[in-house]
Amino acid sequence: MVLHEDSLSSQFKPRVASLIHMFKTHIEMLRDDRISIVHKKNSGKILSEVNKIWWDKELGYISSSPALDNVSDYLLPAPPTAEPLSTFNLGLSESEKLVRDQLILPYVNSGRADQLVSGGGGGMIYVEPEDYDEEDPDDDLDV
């Protein structure tokens, strides 16, 4: 499905923006003849790139190439993170941060080899085979 933003009235644009996650490929026009392409593969991998586009007069069609300059200049800035609405203080004072940094937790690797303790090793694991039933328990189901 191809949906162009200019074909929508202003009341539908926010609704379509909330559905972008459903599309496999999203192409957005940026400033200075650049486009942002986000493609979601079936495997779940997301490919993202910014390309420069131009009209190729010799060939008679639109050409594109990866934009090699600073991509962050063309991407929209991330919205600032708002302070959580809470009735109590979620931040730490400088003294609390200092105490937190000095705290030694028992499960954190300090990086000192002389503190490492070897467990001795050499353990055995005994496994008893299960009683395998040759019959399929789901044979009676009509699927």
Q: What is the pLDDT of residue 127?
A: 76
pTM: 0.38
Confidence of residue 38 (pLDDT cuts 50, 70, 90): confident
Q: What is the pLDDT of residue 120?
A: 65
Q: Is the pLDDT of residue 143 over 70?
A: no
Q: Is the pLDDT of residue 139 over 60?
A: yes
Q: What is the mean pLDDT of residues 106-115?
A: 65
Dist. CA 143–CA 140, nearest whole Å: 9
Q: What is the mean pLDDT of residues 50-74?
A: 72
User: Angle at CA 4, nearest 5°, toward 3 and 9?
Assistant: 105
- The C-alpha torsion from 62 through 64 and 69 to 72, rounded to 10°, is 90
Among the residues of 32-134, which ranges form H helices? 94-102
Q: In this predicted structure, which of 19-23, 86-90, 108-112 has the lowest mean pLDDT?
A: 108-112
**Strand ranges in 2-79 using DSSP code E only, listed in sequence order:** 25-29, 34-40, 46-56, 61-66
Nearest to 50 by CA among 24, 76, 23: 76
